[in-house]
Amino acid sequence: MNVEAIAVLLIRFARRHRTTFTEISQRQSMQLELGAVVGVQEHYRASGFGIEVINPPGSSQFVVKTSTRGAPWNYSRIRAVLHDDAVDIHMNLMVRGAHDDGIYCVDVGVTSPDAIPAKNPTKGKWLCLDNKDLRSFAEVKRLVVYPMLLAQFVGIVHEIKPRFLRPPARRKYGRHGHIPPTLIVLGHFSGNSAEIVRAYPERGFQINIAENFDVRVAWSRNEETRSPLYWGDESKAPQMDPKKVAEALTAELTEA
C-alpha cells in the first residue's frame, strides 16, 4: 500500500474540516478503511456535494469506528448535500439484509440523512439500520482483484442491495452522483478480472470496482473534480511517474 497517498488523503480531510482523528491505527487494514470513508466523501465533494463532518455530542474530534462493536451514534458521520439531496456516510455500519432478517456489517454505509439516531434511542434496543434507509455501501479489501473476489462482492450486493444487479440503471448513481455499491481494492486486476468488470453493464450490474485505490488517491489529489473512485473519461488508469508521485507525496507529508 502506498502509505503516503492514504496519509495525504487523511491529512487534507482533517485540514479542510479543521478536525483531528481520535484514532489512526498503525495497521494498514485500519488505515485503508478510514481512507475508504474519506475517499467516498471525496467522490461526493468532486461531484458537487457540500460536505459536513458531524461528530457525536461532546466531541470536537472525528471519532473513528474501527470495528463492528459500538453504537453508531457514538461515532462521527459525514453528511453530503446537493440541493435537496442528502446522505450520511458511516464507518462499519450494521445493516439489515434485503431478503430476510440477516444483519451485515458494511465497511462504508451511505444512508438517508439522520437514519442513524444522534443519540441512544429511549425505546427498545437498536440492532441495525433498516435496509430501506441504506442508499449504498462500499467494501474495502487489501488484495489484488481476482475473479472469485468479484463473485463474492456480487453476492454481497445480492444480499444487501440487489436492485443494483438488474436494469434499468438507477438515476443519480455513478461517476457524477451517488456511489453505487463499490468495491475498493488496493491491488490491480489479475487474470480476466478486468474483462469480467467490463461486462457488468451488459448484464445490468450497476456496481463499481475501484482497483489500485492508493494510485487513484494520488492521481486525484490535485484536481477538485476528480473522484478517487473513478478514473477519467478514458476509463483506465492514467500513466504516472511513480518517482515523481512519491516525491510530491513525501513533500506534502513533510509540510504537514
Nearest partner of 78 among 127, 131, 13, 12, judged by Cα: 13
pLDDT score at 16 = 87
- Answer whether residue 215 shows pLDDT above 60: yes
* pLDDT-derived band at 119, boundaries 50, 70, 90: confident
- Answer whether residue 175 shows pLDDT above 70: yes
pLDDT score at 234 = 45
% of the chain exceeding 70 in pLDDT = 87
| Amino acid identity, position 24 | I
Tell how strand 103-111 and strand 134-141 pair up.
Answer: antiparallel
C-alpha cell belonging to residue 203: 448484464
Cα-Cα-Cα-Cα dihedral of 124, 127, 133, 135, to 10°?
A: 160
pTM for the full predicted model = 0.89
pLDDT score at 174 = 96
Alpha-carbon distance 160 to 246, whole Å?
Answer: 38
